[in-house]
Structure 1
């Protein structure tokens, strides 16, 4: 199955929310009315849901009806003609990356594990699911690169490590790697060839949130780290394609809309002297 665990969880929540609404409105799930789909969308918008969140919930409900049609339980297409407003605000504006100062403050107080995990997202641009699936053989310290073998859509990519990430990887290996100080760990829940001792994002969230709290910085999740990587790299290389490759995006549009943005006066130096 190519669908990520994060997407599965989001769809599961979306289906539960739709079923709760349908029950409250006495909607016949197998024979919904022609306006029930739009009524659900309107109810979400009236409750203050952002267009992107509404689209996700509609996608989840649509998945439910695809499953019902596959099972032969119904032929209904309640969301075929619904209209969801388009949010024109770029994702990177609505949910911005961590700032340089925020990362500096957190990295200054973070322990070896939290520092390595944070830099994997903020410099390596890895998704948290990709970071937690890394194996020791995926890390090439000499060449300062790592291989993501469990990327989105089961795609493999090679990621260059920054100087700071390479250093953090060496420090982490010295403590938790084969022959390291903490090789024997009764709390380990993953195979010994895995880099991290835990495989769930909630445990990763706990460790990073602790480091952020010690630094007095608000933890806003893992994606602001990836957005920091995309934005900073774009400012240096001025090439959305190369940034998309670094982040593991299949489409440059994904990078452009939500993960990287050029400064408003980016062309200032290029236009100097015209």
Structure 2
């Protein structure tokens, strides 16, 4: 019988590296870098994030996934350009950035790939495999176009059309994103006790950065919640059939954003509206609230943003003539 190592949570996976003696840790890291072994180097980077990253074992799965993809893409570049990972040349890192920009990648996307490659090198230094830090002084051009312009929110007509074709489940999910402004990970983490449609509020227990917040419900969301609870709460006619991927305490029967994309995508397709993901819904909430209450701070709190600048630049948009009433009579 062949013994297979246990593959569990991030902490368990990191022990593949942290249980090694320092000399063996260095030897394996050097070997992986020399062979450009993508699986081993991704594993090493994830172990570093778990042990030494800013959020440690609580690092978001989405961050881990994005960094894993970024490491693989950098290794593909290193392979095709004969980059020595342990002794990179001074033009290798800037060359990687230039190659991505030449391919037409946006600066924000390039910045994310550079962050992943930098994390790989922090992991290699942590393992004692190298002292190289090739991305330390690398500059990525800033994209001056506001995020709200590059990736605009859904329009009022978009959402109205989708709601006409959505079922109870799809309406509830859409209102959570486009009225409550929840990230999809926050929506899928909701438990029944977090949702109080009578008081028109819900609790986000672990938002981005593990910050909790109370979110006000719109009238439409409260109504959609009542209908959803009647069908899907424990004891309801559409309750779990024993194949739930999430505990019975959770509002949704699934925890994977891909499944949520499938469900909401059906409603968009039926309405003839292009589904562009969940963030345009959050941006709809931000834009509508800013235009209504003219207070970026309160909108930032609603969306769970740590910085008002994040709301101002990427999630909310005032009308071009917003000041016309204030300027009347000047």
Query: TM (normalized to structure 2)?
Result: 0.82
Q: How does 1:40-55 map to 2 (within 5 A)?
A: 40-55=96-111
Distance in 2 between the 1:260 and 1:12 partners? Answer: 31
Match of 2:80 among 19, 24, 37: 24
Conserved 8 A contact 2:152-2:280: yes
**1:38 counterpart = 2:112:** no
- The Cα shift of 1:184 comes to 3.4
**1:195 counterpart = 2:251:** yes
Query: TM (normalized to structure 1)?
Result: 0.98
**1:120 counterpart = 2:176:** yes
SS at structure 2 position matched to 1:244:
helix
- The Cα shift of 1:270 comes to 1.4
C-alpha distance after superposition, 1:68-124 (max 9, x if no partner): 111111111111111211100000100000000000000111011111111101000
Residue equivalent to 1:129: 185
Distance in 2 between the 1:118 and 1:78 partners? Answer: 44
Q: CA RMSD in A?
A: 0.9
Conserved 8 A contact 2:110-2:140: yes
Residue equivalent to 2:302: 246
SS at structure 2 position matched to 1:184:
coil
Distance in 2 between the 1:35 and 1:266 partners? Answer: 48
Residue equivalent to 1:57: 113
- The Cα shift of 1:178 comes to 2.0
SS at structure 1 position matched to 2:310:
helix
Q: How many residues align?
A: 274
Residue equivalent to 1:205: 261
Distance in 1 between the 2:285 and 2:76 partners? Answer: 39
Distance in 1 between the 2:105 and 2:277 partners? Answer: 20
Residue equivalent to 2:233: 177
**1:162 counterpart = 2:218:** yes
Conserved 8 A contact 1:244-1:250: yes
Residue equivalent to 2:288: 232
Instruction: Specify which structure has the bigger relative contact order, considering alpha-carbon pairs within 8 angstroms and separated by 6 or more residues.
Output: 1
Which structure 1 residue ranges, 5 or more long, are not aligned? none
Q: Aligned in 2, Cα 1:184/1:38: closer, same or farther, shift over 3 Å?
A: closer
Distance in 2 between the 1:155 and 1:273 partners? Answer: 45
Distance in 2 between the 1:2 and 1:10 partners? Answer: 15
Residue equivalent to 1:215: 271
